Structure 1
Amino acid sequence: MENAKYYFKTDEDRGRSNPAGIMRRYTAEGAGRDEVYNFRLHRWTETDFFDKYRLGHMDFDYVEVPQEEAEAMLAEKLRRQAERGR
């Protein structure tokens, strides 16, 4: 994975401190990849969010964040999910 950039999915109710999603963009084997962390599957999965956003088909916005912040938020959301017993 090269040139990884991380993003939080946000809207007027879900800001940077509690994003609606955690996404990343990177290059692998010369091809660009867009992924979102899927909390039901407990893994990164492909997303077309950025394509839909570019075309104006999204109610959400996004903000770029440092990798460390994205990893910390992911760990926090996974911890909360485990506490809820899901």
Structure 2
Amino acid sequence: MPKLSSTRAASGTGVTNRIRELRFHADEMTQQELAERIGVSRQTVVAIEKGKYSPTLELAFKIARVFETPIDTVFSYDENASKPS
């Protein structure tokens, strides 16, 4: 799998994700298709992708399973990003 780039971190957190890139590499899976597979609305997927919402741990695992990849390939954490400057 090619190297993927991260999206921005959710507000106030150091969590980033690669969901959009993973969807693209999964035969251009739509946000709606991913939402149906993990049991949430398309709007929730949009919010997670944009870093506006941090998923629960359970939801994060469901997303990783859809892409058959370790959770730390989908999500990453930078503790320095969540500290105030």
Shorter-chain TM-score range: under 0.3
Higher alpha-carbon Rg: 1
User: Normalized per residue, which structure has more helix?
Assistant: 2
User: Normalized per residue, which structure has more strand?
Assistant: 1
TM-score (norm 2): 0.25
TM-score (norm 1): 0.25
